[in-house]
Structure 1
């Protein structure tokens, strides 16, 4: 009897030891699971603003932590698609859901989203399926990041590229016109080469101004100064006066070419071809209308030419069109006068 009691005692002690060991192992595993869960949660929170859980067929959003980006959901939400996704992107989201479910694959998409503040933003959303023991999807765990700023930057870059391409085409068209018309009227290839080089240099100086201004706008004072730079020898006889007015890119290019043509003609035949002549350059803006004047005085007697050359047509027709206005040259005996009227795009 005594031996039976001893055996029972040993058995009980062994069972207790096993229970304690199992309990310690269970506690260890619970701690490990809690630690892994915390690490997983920290990883998600450090890499995204939104965390969510949704059922197998994506019909009910179980819970969502929006992180201040989109509204939270703590209970089942069967209207999540209408509440969170703008109508224009709902079909995109539905298509990706269908694909992910059929393939039992990661849901991954960039889409617009309705934000907490009532505005529309962009989210990068990823969700992975959780499977049961039979390999069927039980639910999905997902995370999303606010990519609104990135999408805005990408859009701005596309707009900039399109604008640069447009301006490049306009510039090349202008270069083609300058080259073709100059060669057509040149008395020799050398004369044409020199004239083309000078006109393209004027174009390049204006382009430099636009590049420094990020192609947004160019101050007319800077455009005038750059166009007159090759004629610094006569700077003391050129009076420039006018307020700051911003010009669009094509307007800056056109005005630069006009000033180049006027200054070149003045140096060769007009007010800057002698020692007494003067040039007055003034401009102003009244009720949104720009008036730009080039007035020569004190130079040789001016005779109205029987035929207008490319330079004159460029000044009057092309430049005037850039300002949706008019350019006019008057060959008055006392000196050439040019007036440009129009509307700068920034006014």
Structure 2
């Protein structure tokens, strides 16, 4: 058996990240600094190591609702221009250090206006931070509306207003149960009329109806997580897979799935990496991508997510390149720019690694 890619080798590979929350990847040291500067006093600890462990432990509850509670602290310190710019800059630095060459980072502007910022000022502060990041990574932003709130149309208009200067799309996020995508149908219809891109968190903590609504009612370009599509696939005794109509539609239409394996374990959407639906979905050639979701809460990176899949499924370089090209194909930037990154950066980068280590 050939030697499988190691974590250190994977870090050298050019990677693409489509599903990562800005407020879910803040450095613990930065949270403490910003809390001190802003007078935020509700942190469970001001020791960086202890705070990092607290976020991981709090997120390891098996509940999406409990997982989401951890964001009160990160959002709580991200309510000034300086804080937002710093967090965005450091996000780009951390991703570039992990070998990410293209990323789409999402955040909810409505959660960062508690200290007097306008929605436009929030967006401009984040864009400035990403402009200050390393030149070797390109970052686009997704503006997220909270599905339990009522500002989705306003945030959709904001995304369209800034789409030529760094905002590449729109999303809705938050607890799925009780808040179906169709509650925000007017926002999605507006985006379609404006020829704008959007993804929808669907099929994570809730099942097939959430996915069906996101695609067939709302017209999502991509699915955030989409892990519950597995519920529409049956496996016979001989291992043959039979796809239901929704699963077949998702595969046939090449609708990208923004999968986040470690996060899914934490929220109870999967029981282990080895049993995560990503293995079957990759075998069935769904448009699967690999993502981090929240790097702080999951204590992870794109490289670490790949390394876990290598261990669980025996994936080699060809598999990792397949996931990466899938992600770049599914990005919300123009086709020619996606193609340039695939042919000019990603494929040459993987080819060089394959040659250097001498294995597929």
- Please tell me the TM-score bracket, short chain as reference: under 0.3
The TM-score with structure 2 as length reference comes to 0.18
RCO (CA 8 Å, sep 6+): is it higher in 1 or 2? 2
Judging by fraction of residues, say which structure has more strand. Answer: 1
Larger Rg: 1
Q: TM-score, normalised by structure 1?
A: 0.19
